[in-house]
A and B are shown apart, each in its own frame.
Chain A
Amino acid sequence: MTSHIPKRLAILLLVLLLVLASFPLWGKLVFAAKFTFLLQKVTGIMILALLAMSLDLLVGSAGLVSLGHAAFFGLGGYMLALASPQYDAASLWVALPAALAVTAAASLVVGFLSIRTSGIYFIMVTLAFGQMGYFFFNDSKLAGGSDGATIYVKPTVAAFGVTLIDLDSKLSFFYVVLGALVASYALLRMLLASPFGRVVSAIGVNESRVQGLGFNPMLYKLVAFTIAGTLAGLAGFLAATQYGYVNPAMLGWHQSGHVLVMVILGGMGTLFGPVLGAFILELAHHLFESLTDHWLLPMGAMIIAIVLLLPKGVAGLLIKWTTEKEDGP
């Protein structure tokens, strides 16, 4: 996958972004009573979209299929729980850098131990590390064990005693998460266009040739793994802030698999695809659940249909639609 996005597609994505950003305006009119619930729902989906996007750097670009990515998501969340005094607010300026630093360190270590393997072995090793993270928080008394831990007061965002952003406000938090999602997308786009990103993308296509050209693939994979893990930690931190609660399931393989499905449905290696995948999967879940108790059945059918009909995911379809028309001779 090249780093180039067709112009028509860029416009389409921008329109979708505007629709999303203006949701608090039109959503209130369209959904009225359900609006507050939906505002939180959409905020939650954006957090998962951020997580899926970070995983795409590994799966879609570097060719590293990780089944333990949620471990860093959960770790980021637990860091907020651990940094928050029991009945008082943590400062975002302390808690967030701490969470990012710890997830970065953890992904560096896990990456160092797992990138030596590839293919199915990499999947197994990351799965094992993910489950180690799950059982660490499940079985230790560190933060409530299997019951999880509650964050009673959301972190404050203040400078010189003045509150800049009130994270308790669902509207403010919606825009904080949207900002994080857009900023992360811009960051990953920048990375993929850089010399570093070109090497990482090449590793996903033909790793041995990358080495033959004079690059040490291990080094580039390790840095990519660490960046992806740190962004997952950011998503986890935001999730813990939103729900005011963390539990070991955040780190488990179920969560990792869920996010992997978002990446595959949305379109690997496109960054925006996994965001679309997150929205499609979560909104479909919500819709089917409201229609029937047996929502897993239509959900499964939908996933199978998308995988069969769109081997390159929803993003692949959009790319095809938008390039065919402007393609010259």
Chain B
Amino acid sequence: MTASPFILETRGLTKAFGGLVAVNAVSIGFKEREAHAIIGPNGAGKSTFVNLLTGHLPPSGGEVLFKGANIAGLAAHKVTRLGIGRSYQKTNIFPSFSCFENCRLAAQSRLASSMRFFKPARSYRAVSEQAEAALTAAGLAARSGRIAGAMSYGEQRQLEIAMVLATAPDVLVLDEPLAGMGKEESELMVALLKDLARRYTLILIEHDMDAVFAIAQVLSVMVNGTLLESGPLDQIRASKAVQDAYLGDGAEAY
């Protein structure tokens, strides 16, 4: 095992759906406690890349190294147990559960096993505390008892983040946390993400450039399944290739 500067790293990561190569030999390194945004036009392969990182899809080739071990091809539930938590582009919660129950279930996944049949779930103090802490961190402490499906869209997006936090991850992979949000909700979420960026390794997929520039320190640009460029924020902003391919394109309606 070589001493890698990265906590999470992909090497030549590839995913082909039949003839379509959605992710083509992408090698990106993510440093600990760094906020790293991945941007690119629709269809660039960002979401597929996230699915490969988190075990939601098996790669066709390449490696995913987490703390030096290759985790490519591991099932999603094993990847998240290692410490890579992810949120979803489309709100993916348990609408009939209360806000707290959503987070308690997430926190419960850190027990060695949930094959425990006799004591009620609410009697696991440490689990409940972890869930409460996640709700507070995501700004939902006051919503604890609300049925998740009855909350506003913005709050559901916050819950999405709270659930990931409740799994006590080392790396947060957030797939378009601002998707579909109004201006005010977005501002709240950006503040939350900036706060999280101080405490976690953050991998952020996002279309909202203002948010990306406010949160991220490192930027990777994907186009047509390949990694166009990766580097510090200012360097990417100044890059001619990136501007041609993406940033400077006035046709993007954001």
How far in angstroms is the closest Cβ of chain A from B79?
9
Asked if A36 CB lies within 8 Å of chain B CBs, one says no
- What residues of chain A lie closer than 8 Å to B77, measured between beta carbons? 211-217
Q: Which residue of A lies closest to B122 (CB)?
A: A193
**Total A residues in contact with B, Cβ cutoff 8 Å:** 27
Interface set of A (CB-CB < 8 Å, partner B): 1-2, 190-191, 193-199, 202, 205-206, 208-217, 219-220, 223
- What residues of chain B lie closer than 8 Å to A216, measured between beta carbons? 75, 77
Which residue of A2, A195, A208, A209 contacts B114 across the interface (Cβ within 8 Å)? Answer: A195
A212 touching B104 in the complex, CB below 8 Å, given contacts A196-B116, A223-B115: no
Question: Interface segment, B63-71, B95-103, B202-210, B235-243?
Answer: B95-103
- CA separation between A2 and B96, bound complex, in Å? 8
- What residues of chain B lie closer than 8 Å to A198, measured between beta carbons? 101, 104-105, 108, 114, 121
- What residues of chain A lie closer than 8 Å to B106, measured between beta carbons? 213
Q: Which residue of A lies closest to B114 (CB)?
A: A195
Q: Which residue of B lies closest to A199 (CB)?
A: B114
Asked if B111 CB lies within 8 Å of chain A CBs, one says yes
Determine whether the beta carbon of B105 is less than 8 Å from that of A199. Answer: yes
- What residues of chain B lie closer than 8 Å to A1, measured between beta carbons? 96
How far in angstroms is the closest Cβ of chain A from B91?
10
Determine whether the beta carbon of A197 is less than 8 Å from that of B92. Answer: no
- CA separation between A2 and B101, bound complex, in Å? 9
The interface residues of chain A, by DSSP majority, are classed as helix
Determine whether the beta carbon of B108 is less than 8 Å from that of A195. Answer: yes
21 contacts between A and B (CB under 8 A): A1-B96, A190-B120, A193-B120, A194-B116, A194-B120, A195-B108, A195-B121, A195-B124, A197-B117, A198-B101, A209-B88, A209-B94, A210-B105, A212-B80, A212-B86, A213-B80, A213-B163, A213-B167, A214-B81, A214-B110, A214-B167
Determine whether the beta carbon of B76 is less than 8 Å from that of A212. Answer: yes
Determine whether the beta carbon of A196 is less than 8 Å from that of B117. Answer: yes
- What residues of chain A lie closer than 8 Å to B115, measured between beta carbons? 195-196, 219-220, 223
**Beyond A193-B120, A214-B78, A215-B114: 15 further Cβ-contacts under 8 Å?**
A2-B101, A193-B122, A195-B121, A195-B124, A195-B127, A199-B105, A199-B108, A209-B88, A211-B76, A211-B77, A213-B77, A214-B110, A215-B77, A220-B114, A220-B115
**Total B residues in contact with A, Cβ cutoff 8 Å:** 38
- CA separation between A199 and B115, bound complex, in Å? 9
- What residues of chain B lie closer than 8 Å to A193, measured between beta carbons? 120-122
Asked if B119 CB lies within 8 Å of chain A CBs, one says yes
Determine whether the beta carbon of B94 is less than 8 Å from that of A205. Answer: yes
How far in angstroms is the closest Cβ of chain B from A275?
22
Q: Which residue of B lies closest to A1 (CB)?
A: B96
How far in angstroms is the closest Cβ of chain B from A205?
5
Which residue of A197, A205, A214 contacts B96 across the interface (Cβ within 8 Å)? Answer: A205
Determine whether the beta carbon of A190 is less than 8 Å from that of B118. Answer: yes
Interface string of B160-204 (1 = CB under 8 A from A): 000100010000000000000000000000000000000000000
